[in-house]
A and B are shown apart, each in its own frame.
Chain A
């Protein structure tokens, strides 16, 4: 069974830093691109960041570029999101998401349960 379990979300002060983790199981992690998607309270889904299966390619939304860093450790089946210079508008639930292979279509097939990040003084 595919499982994605996020952790690391908490209350942090503006300007602070935080690292989110996503532990993956039930599939060959190194075969899949992974993504972070967030959802601010009462709002829609916002695509945040992406990383290719081998970590060689990364992408960031303009809203987080230069402040967030996505990475992965395929030996540990874990995805990370290092967040710095946090702002109130980064307050959201952060979801770890698996994307199917390009051959299978490339859509998002599994989502974690999310980890909440609150940026507030």
Chain B
């Protein structure tokens, strides 16, 4: 099983600042890495797939990078609606597509 880890667990950021979230896989997942955003009481929403491709309708301030085992989600200028929990997920190994434990981005 591929284990996904995320850091930090919580990130406190002021509106307008840049946020950088990390995700690491226990073995290479190539570029088969997705990022999801989840707000309280809502289902997760796809932000990024293929490690760096934005999903439809996702604002340009969200960007992803990385390959292999190290990945980054960057939010260039945090807006109020971006405070949420962010999960990474590898989908390299059918059928066990494991999630990371999440990073909570909250207001500083």
Name A residues whose Cβ lies closer than 8 Å to a Cβ of B.
35, 37, 44-47, 50, 57, 59, 61, 95, 99, 105-114
Nearest Cβ distance between residue B22 and chain A, in whole angstroms? 16
Residues on B with C-beta less than 8 A from A114 are: 43
Determine the distance from Cα of A22 to Cα of B89 in the docked complex, in whole angstroms: 22
Nearest Cβ distance between residue A47 and chain B, in whole angstroms? 6
Interface string of B13-38 (1 = CB under 8 A from A): 00000000000000000001010101
For the A-B complex with A57-B95, A106-B91, A108-B89 known, give 8 more contacts whose Cβ atoms are closer than 8 Å: A44-B102, A45-B36, A46-B99, A99-B91, A108-B34, A110-B46, A111-B45, A111-B46
Determine the distance from Cα of A22 to Cα of B49 in the docked complex, in whole angstroms: 24
A107/B43 contact (C-beta < 8 A), A45-B99, A59-B96 known: no
Asked whether, in the complex, the Cβ of A107 is within 8 Å of the Cβ of B95, the reply is no
Determine the distance from Cα of A99 to Cα of B80 in the docked complex, in whole angstroms: 30
Asked whether, in the complex, the Cβ of B55 is within 8 Å of the Cβ of A45, the reply is no
Asked whether, in the complex, the Cβ of A47 is within 8 Å of the Cβ of B97, the reply is yes
State the majority secondary structure of interface residues on A: strand
Residues on B with C-beta less than 8 A from A106 are: 32, 91, 94
Top 10 closest A-B pairs, CB basis? A59-B95, A111-B43, A107-B49, A50-B95, A45-B99, A107-B34, A44-B102, A44-B101, A107-B91, A106-B91
Determine the distance from Cα of A11 to Cα of B101 in the docked complex, in whole angstroms: 27
Q: Is B50's CB within 8 Å of the partner chain A?
A: yes
Nearest Cβ distance between residue A19 and chain B, in whole angstroms? 21
Residues on B with C-beta less than 8 A from A37 are: 99
Residues on A with C-beta less than 8 A from B87 are: 44-45
Nearest Cβ distance between residue B32 and chain A, in whole angstroms? 7
Residues on A with C-beta less than 8 A from B34 are: 107-108
**25 A-B pairs, CB-CB below 8 angstroms?**
A44-B101, A45-B87, A45-B102, A47-B99, A50-B94, A50-B95, A50-B97, A59-B95, A61-B96, A95-B44, A99-B91, A105-B50, A106-B32, A106-B94, A107-B32, A107-B34, A107-B46, A107-B89, A108-B34, A108-B46, A108-B89, A108-B91, A109-B49, A109-B55, A111-B45
